[in-house]
Amino acid sequence: MTVLRRTLLALPVLVLGAAGVVLLAPGGLGDPAPQVVTGGPSAEAYRDVVGVAGNLPGWLHGPGEYGAAAGVLVLIGLVCWTGWSGWRRRTPSWVGALLVSVAAVLAYLVSEALKLVVDQERPCRALGEVTIWISCPPVGDWSFPSNHSTVAGALAGGLVLLAPRLGLVAVPVAVAVAVAVLRVLAGVHYPHDVVAGLLLGASASIALLLALSPAGTWPLTRGRVPAGVSGDGVLTPGRR
């Protein structure tokens, strides 16, 4: 697959991801005042989720506070395992794991920049009547998009391409089990914050893999390898 073709595949992924983030953003571009979201589907969903969370046993509050960070660590571990396995077996999947790691860092930096542009107030401050599991982040620690969900989306999205079986574990961890939902349950993010983070991270990771990963790094490229190279990226006997 040529560089041009790879780029043409990657660009729509980035465009779709960026479009999703823009559509979910509450505004803020060019407006110095913080964006305070008190109405709409996301705010109502937040109230419902936090209301349910408030009725859960107190011993769940600890896992709710640290579960998202634990989920990100699990995803990091899965990417590291994929990279180590590729290195040990001398397959190019270790390069893909490195690209996913780079994408996660880049997506995190973009999410931090977006926070400074959008300036969306945390829901636990905008909706003062809610009771949440943990302390509300300080003033100036903006809400949109969720950093945890951005990193989780990048790691899980990359694993879906690199190691689909691990992707079956990674996606639920990123979306439901540990990261995105827990950030809403804990009361520190709106649902649209975590959805935007997942879209941002996943699109960055998938696009980088599409554009830069060597042949055979992820299943969709296997079988499209240069002449003289096996599916695992190793030169075949008798070929140069």
DSSP state letter for 60:
G
Return the residue matching tokens 């009361």: 187
Name the token pair of 77: 């571990």
- The pLDDT assigned to 24 comes to 92
How high is the pLDDT of residue 85? 87
Residue 211 has a pLDDT of 85
Nearest to 159 by CA among 151, 171, 147, 150: 171
Give the end-to-end CA distance of the chain in Å, rounded to a whole number.
19
Q: What is the pLDDT of residue 144?
A: 94
Residue 23 domain-assigned?
no
Asked, for residue 193, whether it belongs to a domain, the answer is yes
| 188 token code pair | 């520190």
Specify burial of residue 89 (Cβ count, 10 A radius: 0-12, 13-18, 19+).
exposed
Taking the CA atoms of residue 54, residue 59, residue 61 and residue 62 in that order, the dihedral angle to the nearest 10 degrees is 180
- Domain tally for the chain? 1
Say if 219 falls within a structural domain: no
Domain extent at residue 201: 34-214
Please report, for the domain that includes residue 190, its CATH number.
Answer: 1.10.606.20
Average pLDDT, consecutive stretches of 10 residues, N- to C-terminus, the chain (240 residues): 71 91 82 84 89 74 74 92 87 86 96 92 85 82 92 93 87 77 85 94 93 64 42 37
* Domain annotation covers residue 19: no
Q: Judge whether 102 lies within some domain.
A: yes
In a domain, 228, yes or no: no
Residue 233, classed as helix, strand or coil, is coil
Q: What pLDDT score does 10 carry?
A: 84
In a domain, 12, yes or no: no
Distance between CA atoms of residues 18 and 154, nearest Å: 14
- 22 domain residue, yes or no: no
Residues 118 and 142: beta-carbon distance below 8 Å: yes
Q: Tokens standing for 131?
A: 């009771």
